Structure 1
Amino acid sequence: MTPRPYEARDEAAVIALWQACGLTRPWNDPRKDIARKLAVQPELFLVIEDDGRIVASAMFGYEGHRGWVNYLAVAPSRRGRGLARRLMAEGEARLTALGCPKLSLQVRATNTEALAFYQHLGYGRDEVVCFGKRLIADA
């Protein structure tokens, strides 16, 4: 189960995975998020397939200052098998090859499982406040 780049045929399965993992939100259309990612560094949108099923995904990106990861998801029935670690390692390697000095991510404060996972991988909490402004409404 090696991470591979996302392919167009993966769309429905990836969206179903994100929904199963509670990652979708009404204000973010997952199809639009996928289309946007495919327009910018599509090779950094990774999935893991097992037995013909998408069981994990992650979107990585690098804008010249730091890298980001979004939509890291592992099917609930496949958790605890190292799939998220594989995706993160592959994403980190690809970002490092691009010269990316730091990888950042955002986790909802209530997602204690994800917080523990990233801390286990060596990520530390940055003392920042996250701001956001919607530039294009999906709904």
Structure 2
Amino acid sequence: MPSSSASLAIAEITDNDIADVVALWQACGLTRPWNDPAADIALARRGPNSAVLVGRDANAIVATAMVGHDGHRGWVYYVAVDPNRQGKGLGRTIMAAAEDWLRAAGVPKLQLLVRRENAKAGAFYQSLGYDESTSVMLAKWLDGREATP
């Protein structure tokens, strides 16, 4: 569902956007050696329960959020804003779009993960009304990889 807010046009990713989105994620330090960002995009685009939202300003992709749900809980990943454009409300706009996407799907709760060392991101999400959960996240690689930080 395309929308606009404060010079940011938001829509779902297209095939032609993938390289620019991956470059933005790399510029924002979101990629990790154990995750292939193009494969993550392909997985998010496979079904109706997830999407990659891109925010454009003057046809340049300046913000993203990958959003998905299991029918009960929604998740947001790869929230990115062009480092040269941060502090201008674009992060709030792309997060509002992710929340709207989940509301439209009837999902009542949104969760996200923030690395402990990323205090700036934690403060950003708290400014949007997110609270730290008392739950402990556990993880296991199903493809035989060893645990990573």
Category of TM-score, reference length = shorter chain: over 0.9
- Measured after TM superposition, the shift of residue 137 of structure 1 is 6.9
Structure 1 counterpart of 2:64, one-letter code? S
User: Counterparts of 1:43 and 1:28 in 2: how far apart (Å)?
Assistant: 17
Match of 1:94 in 2: 101
Note the residue ranges of structure 1 that are not aligned, 5 or more in a row: none
User: Counterparts of 1:91 and 1:5 in 2: how far apart (Å)?
Assistant: 11
User: Counterparts of 1:35 and 1:44 in 2: how far apart (Å)?
Assistant: 9
Return closer, same or farther for 1:90/1:103 CA change in 2, 3 Å cut-off: same
Structure 2 counterpart of 1:99, one-letter code? G
- Measured after TM superposition, the shift of residue 132 of structure 1 is 1.3
Match of 2:5 in 1: none
Match of 1:76 in 2: 83
Aligned pairs (5 A) from 1:14-93:
14-41=21-48, 44-93=51-100
User: Counterparts of 1:43 and 1:49 in 2: how far apart (Å)?
Assistant: 19
Per-residue deviation, residues 15-62 of structure 1 (Å, max 9, x unmatched): 000000000000001111111111033763100112222111000111
User: Counterparts of 1:4 and 1:42 in 2: how far apart (Å)?
Assistant: 16
Match of 1:117 in 2: 124
For the aligned residues, what is the CA RMSD? 1.6
- Measured after TM superposition, the shift of residue 119 of structure 1 is 0.2
Structure with more strand by fraction:
2
8 Å CA contact retained: 1:6, 1:43: no
Number of residue pairs matched by the alignment: 138
- Measured after TM superposition, the shift of residue 133 of structure 1 is 1.4
8 Å CA contact retained: 2:68, 2:75: yes
The percent of aligned pairs where both chains have the same amino acid is 50
User: Counterparts of 2:24 and 2:130 in 1: how far apart (Å)?
Assistant: 24
Structure with more helix by fraction:
1
User: Counterparts of 2:144 and 2:50 in 1: how far apart (Å)?
Assistant: 26
Return closer, same or farther for 1:78/1:29 CA change in 2, 3 Å cut-off: same
User: Counterparts of 2:21 and 2:53 in 1: how far apart (Å)?
Assistant: 10
**TM-score (ref. length: structure 1):** 0.93
